[in-house]
Every structure is written in structure tokens, then in C-alpha cells.
């Protein structure tokens, strides 16, 4: 007797094969049988039956770039991703993790504040929510396993967090000593022994700590990176994920791939109109490295990078050098500085120089999303460029003056990167790209790209026809499992884990954004409704239906064993 039988589904196996109509049976959390319609399994042989006529069945989506490291300690459901068809997620990306962390209040405060800044999370929410019942990475993994999760999780050990653990606040100030590097090496080895999926880091200049200093990994010299490659080579285990900056071009990252002998994922290859060839040059460099025997991929996104922000947390402006003197100011102090003509002119001058950054100075891409005062409602859903032209004022002055007039309560929206759809289509189809960069769990007050997979299948496959559905499914499932060494997932074949997504190809996609106040300390987040999802199963148990996540079972597994 099977536990579950899904019949009349259009089955996508996850490997890019042509789909076929048939049945899939589940027993004890694994796929027990896959039959074509001409050799049906009687429904009487299953305890539970689902008629999927008109629907498609695929492996659950594997999301390799999430930031649920803190949230998983208080929220085992992670419903925003689960409801979007994600059955496996990797946390710890960019090196921003919460373990290891020393148990004293100052260490926890530093890790929490840095996470608040660099990943756009509410400090009050993290302080109220994180369950600090661990110190080492291994203890953190055990804590996740004991608490359970609705979906499967894997975890990177984070470079910045290692530096903070070993060096304290000095991790954001200087190069590590030989002894400190040796201690970090040992911690990487311990994390790999505990089942870490690999090591994550960042060198991008947009990643700043809570006080405006660089995130710790940005202070590491190249010898430190190569030293941390040694435990990966020694164990022949793990993926190195890095959000690269100017100091770590692809050629240098190839050195890490050679030193570690392990796969390297290069992020974040988001297209910028100011440097239109940059991401393609990176992919060409990755292709050349692979021809020399490396195993590298470039992390690309299916979604435009859209930030909702206010001047309470002006994330898109924070990477600008001219913004540094007022970094972290709030309320009246912030408004006083926003009125300063010298600050405004310095920002204008910096934005004149073409550069690949979160905000490039194109005011057509900045919209007024929500106003705080009724008399300004007519400005909502209009670009700053249009409003400024109508008022015959400079766009930066227009945005600043509007924010000041509403006591910083105005909510803006910025389409930062990946808005050239011709370029994005090319990225998605590139042989060296790996679909990534959902950032689920991060920037909660700014964005929600947890539905990146549904967007790929709806917008890019159905609406734009830039790739076929079997290839899109492959890129969301088996391509992810193969790169990260995930066993028995990402495939609808007998013996594999029963991680399943049942959906309607005619309606699949992402719905409208809204805001919810359901985080600890009543912090707000952006949420997006799924479209066309009819069921999600993790290890054979249903965790979502047409209405979204189902808060009942916690069938997910903590993944620790890699091939």
C-alpha cells in the first residue's frame, strides 16, 4: 500500500526530459513508483489519492541562496518559501550566519547588529526572536535538527561570522594574524565535519556592518582565503560561495577553485545597464576556468532586484561613499542632514560616475510606493523622474524633500538591477549560469523574491518563451542538486526523496506584493502570494496547498551528507 498516489499529472522528471502523463506513488517519504498512463496503478493501492488532471508535477524547487539562519531558530515553517514550492533551501549565504557565536551578550549583539544591517532585518525582531542555545556551528546544526523544519535545509559556514568569532570587532578593521587564520581553518574543518554544505563569503563593497565599517570578510587578504580552502581540499567536501567584489575577480576565484579542488559559485551576476557586459565577461571567465578543469558557476537571478525602502532604512543609498557621514542616523538627525545642500551635491556628483551599484542614478527606476500623508496620495506609483520633471526640480531634491515633508514616512521602490529583460534572458540560458539569488529571509522590509522559481516558469517560460518548461524545471531542481552534491533530490525517479511541486502551468507565477506584521516584535515584512501552486510535499508529507503553507507537519531534513 502506497502512502500517496498522484494521478493524471504531466510529469517533469527534473532532468530536462520531455514530460509525460502518468502517476507517481510515494511510500515512506520516497518515490516508490513512476508510471506512464498506459500502465496505471489502481487508486485502491494508496491511502491518499490526488487527481492532478490538467496539472504538472515536478521535483520541489531547490533554493540555493537564502538567509533563514536567524529565522529558523524561532520559525520552523518558513512558510513564504514553502508556499512558493521550495522544498530545499541553503542558508548562510555571503558568509552572514549566526554560528559560531560566543555566548556573551556583546558577541551576540555584534553578530545580530551586523546581520540587521547587511541583510536588511529588523533589529528588534532578531533580538526578540533568535533562540541563542548554541555556540559552535555543530551545536547550531543540532539545534536546527532538534527544532525541525517544514522543508529541507543545508547550511554554509560563514566567513564573516568566523572572523567575528576569532577576532571580535577587529574583524572589520584588519587582516588576520597567522594564528587567527589557523583558528579559522580549524573552525571550517569542524563545520565541514558537522555537515556544512561549504564556506560562504563576500568581498563586495555594498556589504557593510552596522556601524558603516566593512563586513569582516572584506578585510581578509587573499592568503586567508587560500588557507580556508585547505580544509575543503582535505575533506574533499563543500562548495565555496562568494559574492565577489573588486578584490576578487573571476581569475582570482579560479585560484580558490584550484586550491580547494571544490566547486565555486560566483555571485551576484545581476545585470546593470551601466556595465552591460560585466556579468557576461564574468561568465566567459568562468567558462574558461571550467575548460581548465575547474568546477565553477555564476549565480544569476530570474527576477529584477526591486527594493522597497524608506529613509528610516535607506539601503540603496548606503553603499555610496557620500552617504557614509550620515550612515545610521535616524529621525530628526537624519532629516537635518538630508536638508544639507553639500550632502545633496556630493551624492549627485558620485551618481554621475557610471558604476555598477545598487542605485545607479536612474530616477525613472525609483517610484513612490506609499505616501504617509493623504495630500500626497496622487504621487503613488509614479517615478521620481516624472514627479521631478513636473515640478521642475532636481530628482534627488524631489525625493529628499518629499521624504522630509512626511517625516521620513514615505515608502519608495527601486528597480535596482536585472531590469533589461533581453540581457536577463541571455543570463538565464547561459551554459555557465546557476539560477540563484532569491535572498529569501533577508531584506524582509524591502523585497520578497522567494517565488523566483514560480516567476521563472510563469514569466520567462509561459509569457516570454525564453526557454522550455522541462529546461526551467531542470535548472530549478537537478541542476542545483548536482552542483551542491545533494543526494537523492531534484529528481522524480524511483528511490529519490518525495519532494514534489504540483502546479498549473497556465497560471503559475507570483502575485501582488503586500506587507505583513507577523515577525517577532511586530516587525513588518514584504510578502508575495503564489499563483498556480496546488500542492507541495517534503519527504512525502504535504506542507502547502492552494492556499499556501500548511502549519502541521515538519517533515524537512537537515542535510549533512554530500557527494
- Strand duo 61-63 + 86-91: pairing: parallel
Q: What angle do CA 319, 360, 386 make, to 5 degrees?
A: 125
Closest CA to 87 of 557, 560, 563: 557
Q: What is the pLDDT of residues 51-93, one digit of tens each?
A: 999 999 999 999 999 999 999 999 999 999 999 999 999 999 9
Distance CA 484, CA 430 (A): 19
Please tell me the predicted confidence (pLDDT) of residue 306: 86
Per-position DSSP letters for 8-53, written without gaps between them: EEEE--SSSPPPEEEEEEEETTEEEEEEETTSPPPGGGBSSEEE-T
Distance CA 386, CA 379 (A): 10
Closest CA to 265 of 240, 287, 289: 240
CA dihedral sign, ordered 449, 454, 456, 460: negative
122 within 8 A of 521, measured Cβ to Cβ: yes
Determine phi and psi for 471, rounding to 5 degrees. -70, -40
Distance CA 107, CA 103 (A): 7
Please tell me the predicted confidence (pLDDT) of residue 356: 65
232 within 8 A of 226, measured Cβ to Cβ: no
Say what the pTM is.
Answer: 0.93
Per-position DSSP letters for 527-551, written without gaps between them: EEEEESEEEEEETTEEEEETTEE-S
Distance CA 97, CA 253 (A): 22
What is the number of residues in the chain? 563
56 within 8 A of 13, measured Cβ to Cβ: no
C-alpha cell at 228: 580556508
C-alpha cell at 262: 571544490
Which residues have CB under 8 Å from 234's CB, separation 6+?
189
Distance CA 527, CA 508 (A): 17
Query: Superfamily for 61-304+418-549?
Result: Metal-dependent hydrolases (3.20.20.140)
Q: Give me the residues paired with residue 49 across strands.
A: 5
C-alpha cell at 128: 526578540
Domain coordinates in residue numbering, the chain: 61-304+418-549, 307-416
Per-position DSSP letters for 119-141, written without gaps between them: TT--HHHHHHH------SHHHHH
83 within 8 A of 530, measured Cβ to Cβ: yes
Q: Give me the residues paired with residue 288 across strands.
A: none
Low-confidence stretches of the chain (pLDDT beneath 50): none
Helix (H, G, I), strand (E, B) or coil at 84: coil
Give me the helix-helix angle, 105-118 and 159-167, nearest 10°.
Answer: 150
257: part of which helix (H) or strand (E)?
Answer: helix 250-260
Beta carbons within 10 angstroms of residue 291's beta carbon:
8
Please tell me the predicted confidence (pLDDT) of residue 359: 86
205 within 8 A of 246, measured Cβ to Cβ: yes
Beta carbons within 10 angstroms of residue 236's beta carbon:
11
Please tell me the predicted confidence (pLDDT) of residue 18: 98
Q: Establish whether the linkage from the previous residue to 360 is cis, with ω within 30° of 0.
A: no
Closest CA to 73 of 162, 165, 147: 147
C-alpha cell at 427: 543570463
Distance CA 148, CA 347 (A): 47
Rg (CA), the chain: 23
| Residue whose grid cell is 545598487 | 358
Q: What is the pLDDT of residues 104-133, one digit of tens each?
A: 999 999 999 998 877 778 888 999 999 999
202 within 8 A of 240, measured Cβ to Cβ: no
Amino acid at each position: 500500500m502506497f502512502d500517496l498516489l498522484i494521478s493524471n499529472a504531466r510529469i517533469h522528471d527534473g532532468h530536462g526530459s520531455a514530460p509525460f502523463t502518468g502517476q507517481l506513488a510515494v511510500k515512506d517519504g520516497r518515490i516508490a513508483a513512476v508510471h506512464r498512463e498506459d500502465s496505471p496503478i489502481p487508486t485502491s493501492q494508496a491511502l491518499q489519492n490526488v487527481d492532478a488532471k490538467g496539472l504538472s508535477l515536478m521535483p520541489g524547487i531547490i533554493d540555493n541562496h537564502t538567509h533563514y539562519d536567524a529565522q529558523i531558530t524561532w520559525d520552523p515553517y518558513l512558510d513564504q518559501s514553502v508556499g512558493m514550492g521550495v522544498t530545499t533551501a541553503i542558508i548562510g549565504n555571503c558568509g552572514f550566519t549566526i554560528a559560531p557565536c560566543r555566548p556573551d551578550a556583546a558577541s551576540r549583539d555584534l553578530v545580530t547588529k551586523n546581520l540587521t544591517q547587511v541583510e536588511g532585518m529588523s533589529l528588534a525582531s532578531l533580538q526578540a526572536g533568535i533562540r541563542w542555545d548554541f555556540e559552535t556551528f555543530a551545536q547550531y546544526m543540532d539545534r536546527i535538527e532538534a527544532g525541525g523544519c517544514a522543508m529541507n535545509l543545508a547550511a554554509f559556514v560563514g566567513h564573516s561570522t568566523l572572523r567575528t568569532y576569532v577576532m571580535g570587532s577587529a574583524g572589520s578593521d584588519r587582516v588576520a594574524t597567522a594564528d587567527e587564520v589557523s583558528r579559522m581553518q580549524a573552525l571550517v574543518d569542524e563545520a565541514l565535519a558537522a555537515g556544512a554544505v561549504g564556506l560562504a563569503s563576500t568581498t563586495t563593497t555594498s556589504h557593510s556592518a552596522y556601524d558603516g565599517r566593512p563586513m569582516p570578510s572584506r578585510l581578509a587578504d587573499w592568503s586567508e582565503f587560500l588557507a580556508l580552502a585547505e580544509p575543503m581540499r582535505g575533506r574533499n567536501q563543500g562548495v565555496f560561495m562568494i559574492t565577489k567584489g573588486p578584490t576578487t575577480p573571476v581569475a582570482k576565484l579560479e585560484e580558490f577553485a584550484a586550491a580547494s579542488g571544490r566547486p565555486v559559485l560566483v555571485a551576484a551576476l545581476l545585470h546593470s545597464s551601466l556595465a552591460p557586459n560585466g556579468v557576461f565577461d564574468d561568465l566567459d571567465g568562468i567558462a574558461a576556468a571550467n575548460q581548465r578543469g575547474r568546477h565553477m558557476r555564476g549565480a544569476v537571478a530570474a527576477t529584477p532586484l526591486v527594493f522597497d525602502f524608506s529613509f528610516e532604512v535607506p539601503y540603496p543609498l548606503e553603499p555610496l561613499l557620500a552617504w557614509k557621514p550620515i550612515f545610521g542616523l535616524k529621525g530628526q538627525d537624519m532629516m537635518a542632514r538630508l536638508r544639507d545642500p553639500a550632502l545633496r551635491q556630493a551624492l549627485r556628483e558620485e551618481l554621475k560616475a557610471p558604476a555598477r551599484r545598487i542605485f545607479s542614478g536612474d530616477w525613472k527606476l525609483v517610484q513612490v510606493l506609499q505616501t504617509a500623508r493623504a495630500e500626497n496620495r496622487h504621487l503613488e506609483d509614479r517615478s521620481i523622474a516624472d514627479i521631478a520633471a513636473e515640478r521642475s526640480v532636481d530628482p534627488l531634491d524631489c525625493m529628499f524633500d518629499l521624504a522630509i515633508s512626511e517625516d521620513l514616512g514615505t515608502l519608495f521602490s527601486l528597480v535596482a538591477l536585472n531590469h533589461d529583460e533581453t540581457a536577463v534572458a541571455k543570463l538565464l540560458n547561459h551554459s555557465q549560469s546557476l539560477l540563484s539569488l532569491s535572498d529569501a529571509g533577508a531584506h524582509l522590509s524591502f523585497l520578497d523574491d522567494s517565488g523566483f522559481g514560480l516567476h521563472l516558469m510563469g514569466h520567462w517560460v509561459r509569457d516570454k518563451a525564453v526557454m522550455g518548461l522541462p529546461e526551467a524545471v531542470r535548472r530549478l531542481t537537478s541542476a542545483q542538486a548536482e552542483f551542491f552534491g545533494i543526494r537523492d533530490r531534484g529528481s522524480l525517479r524511483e528511490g529519490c526523496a518525495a519532494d514534489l511541486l504540483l502546479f498549473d502551468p497556465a497560471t503559475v507565477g507570483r502575485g501582488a506584493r503586500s506587507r505583513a506584521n507577523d515577525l517577532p516584535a511586530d516587525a513588518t515584512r514584504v510578502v508575495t502570494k503564489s499563483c498556480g501552486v496546488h500542492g507541495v510535499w517534503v519527504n512525502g508529507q504535504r506542507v502547502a496547498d492552494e492556499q499556501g503553507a500548511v502549519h502541521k507537519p515538519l517533515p524537512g531534513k537537515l542535510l549533512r551528507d554530500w557527494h
